[in-house]
Amino acid sequence: MNEQPWQLQIARRSLKKREKLKLLDHVFFINTSETALDLGCAQGILSYFLRRKGGRWISTDLDLKNCRTADALLEGNCMQISSGLLPFRDESFDTVVCLDFLEHLDDDDLCLREIRRVLRVNGVLLLAVPRTGRIFFLHHLRKWMGMKLEFYGHKRDGYRLSDLRSKMSRNGLIPGRRWRFAGFFTEFIELVLNLAYIKLFSVEDASRLRDGHIRPSTSGEFVSKKKTFRLYGMIYPFVWLISRLDRLIFWQRGYGLLIKATRSNGNS
């Protein structure tokens, strides 16, 4: 029996990715005939599961290394883009999925305008970003621990819901329903794991990667740390149980935000 692709092995042990995938499974639907653009596919982990829902996909990323890695998993239709204008015609896509990508861009307004341009009228955008604000204690803890934004490849901590809605509206997108995910304990565990990875496995060119260096970016890197991942797999059930404490503080605001929007009918 062939071993599961390394990206999927990571997904099985990632609290936030499992939570995000479960949410996407409930809220994202696509017809077989529809075309979809995947902005910021990284190593292809979330893209793999999105494509299984159907549709005709193009996956993109800023980082060529990510594109090559994702292409091996997704078996095609991956391409590198720049952080500026998207290389697609107006109204090319029925759906745009932009997961954990907007916070990596200097000009996020430009990205939203471009998403609006390439969406068909009444097309759907599904956008996931980190949340921020004064009460988000872990963002302050992360800075105190020395976890710089560049380690994640981020340009900002995240977005306030009200600010993001305003930003989307002024760029021709109509914000709709939203969902929160990644509670305090889940986010704290991810922070500790990211810190451990940075301290133990940091590389000199991490700042050149679009999504920083908080996880392996190639199969070779994963293989070189396989023993460590096996060890983590042994304690993962205990880690997962700790993350379930989020259910005891159900009133908390999640550190992740998923929002659905449609393209406005007006002119750009």
pLDDT band at residue 73, thresholds of 50, 70 and 90? very high
Structure tokens at 97: 């999925």
Domain count, the chain: 1
In a domain, 259, yes or no: yes
Range of the domain at 116: 6-263
What CATH number does residue 111 fall under? 3.40.50.150
- pTM for this entry: 0.90
- Inside any domain, residue 25: yes
Question: What is the DSSP pairing of strand 119-130 with strand 93-99?
Answer: parallel
Cα–Cα dist 268/182, whole Å? 34
- Using CA atoms in the order 163, 169, 173, 175, what is the torsion angle rounded to 10 degrees? 60
pLDDT band at 54 (very low <50, low <70, confident <90, very high): very high
pLDDT band at 198 (very low <50, low <70, confident <90, very high): confident
Is 113 part of a structural domain of the chain? yes
- The answer as to whether 209 is a domain residue is yes
268 lies in a domain? no
Task: Confirm whether 103 is domain-assigned.
Answer: yes
Task: Decide: 85 and 20 in contact? Cβ < 8 Å.
Answer: no
| Per-residue pLDDT reduced to its tens digit, 102-161 | 999 999 999 999 999 999 998 999 999 999 988 888 998 998 998 888 888 899 999 999
| Residue 1 falls inside a structural domain | no
